[in-house]
Structure 1
Amino acid sequence: MNCHCAQIVTPGLLELFDARQRLIDAATPINAVENITLGQSAGRVLAETLVAPLDMPGVDNSAMDGYALCLADYQAAPPGAGLPILQRVPAGAGVMLLPEGGCARIFTGAPVPLGADIVVPQERVTLDQHGHIHLEGNLVVGANIRRQGEETRMGTPLLAAGTLLGAASIALLASHGISAVTVKRRLRVAILSTGDELIPPGAARSPGQVYDSNRAMLNVLLAQAQCDVLDLGVIADSPASLHQAFEHAQTAADLVVCTGGVSVGEEDHVRPVIEQRGGLHFHGVAMKPGKPFAFGYLGAEPFSSTPLMALPGNPVASLVGWQLLALPFIHAMQGRAVAVLQRYPVKAGFSQRGPQGRCELLRVEMDWSQGAPVAQLAGGQGSHMLSAASQAHGYLMINPATEVTEGATYHYYPINQFAA
């Protein structure tokens, strides 16, 4: 898998948004595609631009239940005479010719008869004892008629390559009779956790052992991102074990994501093994939590390598690194347009010391009890504290050396934007 980063490790800590953009710029979209049915396409990335095979609507049709008529005929009728109902047009009927001197009872979606130039809603129509219609309110030619091709014209672009197919876009394709699409192949991602202390959930735990939550989390996050996962399990804290795991991951996956062992301690072997098997583009981002995030590659050359992202071992730091850094890289590899981060000004409902040297992403809940949203801490802010992360609605981003003052406004990043 190609990767377009410089080979030199960035000195010092990268600013968060600089790191994010470097990752996006480094990603090369996968080229392999597959043809699947529309029913299988939810969450997949469209590989080619589709053009409309039909006009939409296919014919002029009624926007509501009512009566179709030629307004000039109604206005030319003797005072109080109205118009007789000479035709009934249900949805699914063919295009008819409006009978001269009369109107048509018509239903939503039904073709407007030739010669009719207005549909009057049934709520504005009364019938006399002869069954003639009488109209109320302002009448405008063309009202309540959906014109042929007003949404799309045959041959015009329908959906662009790179579109993430969701309910509305799939419905659009179905409305044009499209039953199969060509999409990008799913990204294959190998994941592994490092740490002698890690054990799988459900195993008997001895003092000092920790249940591995990162792989459980990454399996869910990658499934949400429509990736196929190769779960390599927990890898021992030894260079030999890491070399073996990375050798397999390098050939079996498009991308490798590991957690833990990426700091600079004596038992943190991930960075030196990456450097021996490939190289690092950068290591360390000026963010809290998530500082030890690293981005590199496995292979002889960065331009023909398997990219690797190393997330911190602390689970909240791993989650934040995934959301703000790893996810946009994956979207870019999938050929998707990477969405701009959504942020809103929100007042803090608390005060605390500001971060030093790096921005801090505080896990917060939105309190709407006073009408306007106020950010409150969701719980303990330690990078190991998943309870707060599980309750948080979003992140309040605090710039370095900026005190958090109750009532002051800061940038709020909602978590739901990272759902896929």
Structure 2
Amino acid sequence: MKIVYLAFLAVFSVSSVFAQRTVIYCGNLFDGTNGSVRSSVTVIVEKNKIISIENGYSAALSADKVIDLKSKTVLPGLIDMHVHLEGETSKDQFQKRIQQNMADVAFDAQKNGVTTLMAGFTTVRDLGGSGANIALRNAINRGVVVGPRILTSGKTIATTGGHGDPSNGIKPELQLPPAALDGVINSPDEARQAIRQRYKDGVDWIKITATGGVLSIAKNGKGPQFQPDELKALIETANDYGLKVAAHAHGAEGMKRALRAGVTTIEHGSFLDDECIKLFKEKGAYLVPTIIAGKTASDSAKIPGYYHPLVVPKALETGKMIQESFAKAYKAGVKIGFGTDAGVYVHGKNAKEFVYMTEAGMPMAEALLAATRTNSEILSMKDQIGSVEVGKLADIIAVDSDPLKDPTVMMNVTFVMKDGVVYKSK
């Protein structure tokens, strides 16, 4: 395997990469515009954009760089709508949260970002961390380090004791610095202040925790955690600042409140009901199911001592329901985005979500479109990413065989180009 992962390549050698056209010969191309596959296609990249797509294998010019993917299936770079690059599941994850400083978190996040990019995910939406995720986004954009294109919410906005309150599980004598709690709100006024702070921090999205959560050290993982007036203040203020809102939500009541208030995406949706489905369709909101996270948490909960005792029953219950709820929503016509909650499971395994989605009844072509075209629409980036089309950024990946026949193929991406630069080739 040849992995072009030296940071200096992106910083110092970009001019040499961009000085020539890159001609990519694709054995099969799933371009992300629809669910079909084209055979024997040439994609031509200049600088960081796709400038031509031609049937057959077009002759290359003498100065062109040629990449031969005639034995592979080529696809747009994948998009994961729900990751947490700053951390990763482990038996001592709560201890790490207390012990690690911001520099530790940032180095871990950069490592996880590289792993994610090498798995074929060229763009991710990072939904909650310490704020190091904002710095990582900026460093990647500047070419200082390597990683996927990141859109981030910075810190999550939660209620006191709610999923996302960083003081959960810590005795009062171990006081956190005030900055650690600046996303914990308890009124409409504090909601507005939190949104304005996120805007000041430079976030791309807002993440709120509309219900309890599985991994927070709290008893109830399903109950609603914001009042309607708080949700109204959060979403109206976010929209004023040009920001969309993603709502973590497992339980039905919190989901309904968030949907009525106007969130763009619901994350997880583990215990949705028929009224939730009706609201999804009325409001045009998207479900980002994260089936892999629910199943992984359930598996980890069966390991003695892996989670806090309050977490175990929540993880077991959610793991049983999350795939079933996705199937119900999909069959009812709810719009589906692709997201995994990476960090709840080991980074780099994101494509296992395709297996779970197809198990639940979604055809693989539709699952791939969810991870490309649909996600680009959610991010308001359809003119830049999400498909292999002329004029779009050259985010291109390849796998060894046909994923429409075998979804597990996506778990072994053998070629990764992001923004016109090749980072992995095998």
Do both share a fold (TM > 0.5)? no
Q: Which has the higher contact order (CA 8 A, sep 6+)?
A: 2
Higher strand share: 1
The structure with the largest alpha-carbon Rg is 1
TM-score by length of 1: 0.28
